[in-house]
Amino acid sequence: MTRDVEGISRFLGEFSKGMGLPPVKYDPSRISRVVFNLHQDFPHPSGIKGASIFKKVSFFVINFIIKKPILESFPAELIGNELSGIPNHENVIFAFHIAIESLYKAKIIRGTGEKLILENRIEVSEHSYREIIEALSEISQLTHNFKLLCVFFEQLAYKTNPHCQYPPIDI
């Protein structure tokens, strides 16, 4: 668990530097609670160990957004007025970026034992990015929509990694 907290903290530093932001101020105890929840309250019958990468990423995103470990908003002059006007944008943006980073090169193991790799990084348009950040900002303890978020990340990954998608059905 300590390694996870340190990894998230390290990613926060690298993320802020890469985005041209000043060092991100965050509450390490809130990050610890995010990590603790991942291991204690995971919504899968087999816990975190038996869950897909999409479930792991979704649960992380939900917990990070709800726990709000980043303490200060990102400056509008660096992220734009549209994003800076979104409540809790700093935690939503970070959670989304770490989700995308976590899915890149991730391994998918099917129930059949087949192993697939998400070889291509997820891409979204600038318009979709703003819409996603706004939609994720509405996550709360009561309305986190875990299953819907799992399907969302799965579909984003399959868009750039069609070789990993299950066979489509006619609907």
State the virtual CA torsion across 107, 13, 122, 67 in degrees, nearest 10: 80
Query: Over the stretch 14-46, which tens digit does the pLDDT of each residue have?
Result: 888 888 888 889 999 999 999 888 877 777 777
Give the pTM.
Answer: 0.91
Query: Over the stretch 95-121, which tens digit does the pLDDT of each residue have?
Result: 999 999 999 999 999 888 899 999 999
Hey, where are the domains in the chain? 2-164
Distance CA 21, CA 65 (A): 19
